[in-house]
Amino acid sequence: MNRDRRVAVTGLGAVTSIGRNVSEFWKNLLAGACGIRPVTLFDASTYRTQTAAEVVDIPDDFLSAAEKRRMSRADRMGLAAAREAIAAAGLDLSREDPSRVGVILGGGTSGLLDSEEFYARHLEGRKARPSRVLNHLPDAITDRVAQRWGLAGIKSTITTACSSSANAMGYAFDAIVSGLADVVLTGGSDVLARLTYGGFNSLRSVDPDPCRPFDRERRGLSIGEAAGILVFEEAGRARRRGAPVVAEFLGYGVTSDAFHMTAPDPSGMAGGRAVRAALASARVDPAAIDYVNAHGTATPQNDSAETAALKAALGERAKEIPVSSIKSMIGHCLCASGGIEAVATALSVRDQAVPPTIHYETPDPQCDLDYVPNFAREVPVRVALSNSFAFGGNSTVVVLARA
């Protein structure tokens, strides 16, 4: 592939439980704020747990009432984050060749919250409104972003569960490097739904209290929701137009664990392959890595396996660098987690500061890295990794660097 083409991140957008835009989100991440609260989107009283990191008050005033009615919650959050990212990049998309601008997002629950209501009515033998299922498929948000900004280039939605938006960024990277597109809006938007909330609860994977990544007493994840959108742009044109480059997307690795549908490989060999593939794609050595934005779900299995994977792939370097999980603050945003965590990682690269892992109290011998407990830190961050590991053993690692 033509490696003369590189990929700059020129705009970020975020809608999260601890901030409805990038600056609020970043300020609260560094302050160690927690967005995990009682669930309000549906009646959670009959579930095993009752907390999640919900987004309060989506900043979607730019949509008309009719548009909002047509759209799912994931659509509205995704459009709000995309709007912020496009503005931050200083892009006037009406002046671009629409066929050269693409949209590649990670998709997940999409309109599931609405289709669950359709299904519940159907199960009760009542007539259900068809408009409730129109947004069911996870690619709806991708089409909506393209529709809103008149984009006619590549569109794709990756549906690899919790690594969806990380893989979407990888696809966007390959699309730009190969010359298929010059600009791609990427990342993802994913919202709370009964299916995922009930599903992780049925697996006994949800901590009734806010999650505690890497802590010895960790008891599972907290579910979250978020939209994290990034503008990827061919670096040469970004430079020529004087775009505000936040970071460079150096490359990514995607591998199959080929191990188990839900359990990570405890040896870290499988996760380590993804990290090594990412380093190879980015053409950097382990010694160049300054920070890891961890997958860090706070399930007992993930955090020890991820620690082992980092040690397997980075060797001694793993012990020298900060590794933190922002899921301790915004929960596990499932198909959007790769996107929103890449937004945070890009900000770490821009501002030379790393967010903490909060709720961290008791060290675990199985998790023996520097997890940046409870307080953010200013450190030099030239190259950073962001990990995403999904059901199915889909492991993806992205690499961001100072531009």
Partner 1 sequence: MSSHGVITGTGAVCPLARSAPEFYRKLFAGETAVRPMTPEERGDLQATHVARCDAFSPQPEIPPMKARRFDRGSQFAIVACSQAIHESAYDVAANPESIGIALGTGSAGAGALTEFLRVLLRESPEAAPPFHFPNTVANAPASQVSIELKLYGPNVTVTQKDPSALNALLFASLSLRAGRARAMIAGGVDEWNAIYALGFDRVGALRGEKRVSGIVQGEGAFAVLLEEEDAARQRGARPLARLAGLGIAGVPTEPYRFAPDPGAMNRSMRGALDDAGTSPENIGLWFPSRDGVVEMDAAELEAMRGIFGNPPPEILVKQAIGEMAASGGGQLVAAAHALADPDGFFGERRAPRRALVNSFGAGGNFLSAILEAA
Residues of this chain, 17-56, that bind partner 1 according to CB under 8 A: 46-48
Q: What is the torsional sign of CA 326, 38, 83, 175?
A: positive
- Judged by CB under 8 A, does residue 283 bind partner 1? no
Q: Does 303 contact partner 1 by CB under 8 A? A: no
Stretch that binds partner 1, among 176-184, 214-222, 291-299, 379-387 (CB under 8 A): 176-184
What's the min distance (Å) between Cβ of 120 and partner 1? 5
89 CB-side CA count, 13 A: 29
User: Of the listed 34, 211, 295, 335, which one is catalytic?
Assistant: 295
Among 38, 120, 287, 374, binds partner 1 (CB under 8 A): 120
Please indicate whether residue 295 is annotated as part of the active site. Answer: yes
Q: What is the DSSP letter of 56?
A: P
Binding residues for partner 1 restricted to 127-166, rule: CB under 8 A: 128, 130, 133-140, 142-144, 146-161
Q: How does strand 323-324 pair with strand 291-293?
A: parallel
Task: For residue 65, state whether it binds partner 1 (rule: CB under 8 A).
Answer: no
Give the DSSP H or E segment for 395.
strand 394-401
In whole angstroms, give the CA distance from residue 173 to residue 150.
21
Confirm or reject binding of residue 262 to partner 1 (CB under 8 A). Answer: yes
Taking CB under 8 A as the criterion, the residue among 15, 254, 336, 399 binding partner 1 is 254
Compare residues 273 and 359 and give the one whose CB is closer to partner 1.
273
- For residue 260, indicate whether it is catalytic: no
If DSSP codes are grouped into helix, strand and coil, which group holds residue 262? coil
Q: Does 5 bind partner 1 (CB under 8 A)?
A: no
Identify the residue among 37, 237, 288, 391 touching partner 1 (CB under 8 A). 391
User: What's the closest the beta carbon of residue 70 comes to partner 1, in angstroms?
Assistant: 8
194 binds partner 1 (CB under 8 A): yes
- Got the DSSP string for 133-174? GTT-STTHHHHHHHHHTT--S-EEEE--GGGHHHHHHHHHHH
Q: Taking CB under 8 A as the rule, does residue 209 contact partner 1?
A: no
Q: Is residue 17 classed exposed, middle or buried when 0-12, 13-18 and 19+ CB atoms within 10 A define those classes?
A: buried
CB 222 within 8 A of CB 298: yes
Residue 56 CA to residue 47 CA, distance in Å, equals 21
Binding partner 1 by CB under 8 A: which of 199, 266, 286, 300?
Answer: 199
Is position 309 an interface residue for partner 1 (rule: CB under 8 A)?
Answer: no
The residue from 332, 335, 359, 367 that is catalytic is 332
Q: Should residue 222 be labelled a site residue for partner 1 when binding is judged by CB under 8 A? A: no
Please check whether residue 153 is in contact with residue 42, taking contact to mean a CB–CB distance below 8 angstroms. Answer: no
Q: Using the minimum distance from each CB to partner 1, give the nearer residue, 150 or 315.
A: 150
Of 133 and 354, the one with the shorter C-beta distance to partner 1 is 133
Question: Contact, 139 vs 133, CB < 8 A?
Answer: no
Of 27, 70, 283, 319, the one binding partner 1 by CB under 8 A: 70
Judged by CB under 8 A, does residue 219 bind partner 1? no
| Measured CA angle at 315 (ends 397, 170), to 5 deg | 10
- Catalytic residue, chosen from 162, 211, 335, 367, is 162
Hey, what are 135's tokens? 């947004």
Q: Binding partner 1 by CB under 8 A: which of 54, 84, 114, 174?
A: 174
Which is closer to partner 1, CB of 202 or CB of 267? 202
Q: What is the DSSP string of 342-390?
A: HHHHHHHHHHTEE--B-S--S-BTTB-SB--BSS-EE---SEEEEEEEE
User: Which residue in 318, 325, 393, 397 binds partner 1 (CB under 8 A)?
Assistant: 393
Residues belonging to the active site: 162, 295, 332
